[in-house]
Amino acid sequence: MPRVLIADKLSPAALATFSERCVEADARPGISKVALLAIVADYDAIAVRSATKLTADVINAAKRLKVIGRAGIGVDNIDVDAATAAGVIVMNAPFGNSITTAEHTIALLMALARDIPAANVSTHSGRWEKDRFVGTELYGKTLGIIGAATSARSWRTAPRA
């Protein structure tokens, strides 16, 4: 029976899915690197999110390792070169939170249109500047994103009209 180490907190549905497919899954969220190095040789797969760092020394200690699964978009916490050299497949779930991300983006756009961040800072500073933070009413208007950003550094804020 294949064994998978779940090194970060995942949904209980993940454990159920492994069980349904006759995969033995050990959930050890928050495992230290020392503890990880001590047990990683016993697993065929590792599932992580972003907390656990799978460095070259961890990957090289995992003699049975065939797959690393990242429950999320990036793989910046995984040494992909070391995994490739060891013949380990690295997979991620780039669309797992796309609806959440889209909804969050719209919520932030609305918050900015209504001046909520600045009003929050003002209120927490003990001021009540009700007339200063009326924002822009969105009724009857179109709110959206024009263009595409290639990285976080390419985002720019436009002056208010």
Q: What three-state secondary structure class fits 160?
A: coil
Least confident range from 85-94, 125-134, 142-151: namely 142-151
Checking if the pLDDT of 53 tops 90, the result is yes
**pLDDT for the residue numbered 46:** 98
Checking if the pLDDT of 154 tops 60, the result is no
| Distance in angstroms between the alpha carbons of the first and the last residue of the chain | 62
**pLDDT for the residue numbered 148:** 59
Checking if the pLDDT of 69 tops 90, the result is yes
Domain at 3-92, CATH homologous superfamily: NAD(P)-binding Rossmann-like Domain (3.40.50.720)
Parse the chain into domains and list their residue ranges. 3-92, 98-154
The mean pLDDT of 86-101, rounded to a whole number, is: 87
Q: How many helices (H) and strands (E) does the chain have?
A: 6, 5
Confidence of residue 143 (pLDDT cuts 50, 70, 90): confident
Per-residue pLDDT tens digits for 8-43: 999 888 889 999 999 999 999 999 999 999 999 999
* pLDDT averaged over every residue in the chain: 87
**pLDDT for the residue numbered 149:** 55
Token pair belonging to 110: 């609305």
Checking if the pLDDT of 2 tops 90, the result is yes
E strand or H helix that includes residue 30? none
The amino acid present at 77, given as its one-letter code, is N
**pLDDT for the residue numbered 87:** 96
Least confident range from 17-26, 85-94, 140-149: namely 140-149
**pLDDT for the residue numbered 130:** 82
Helix %, strand %, coil % for the chain, to 5? 35, 15, 50
Q: Give exposure, 120-133, as e/b (b: 16+ Cβ within 10 Å).
A: eebeeeeeeeeeeb
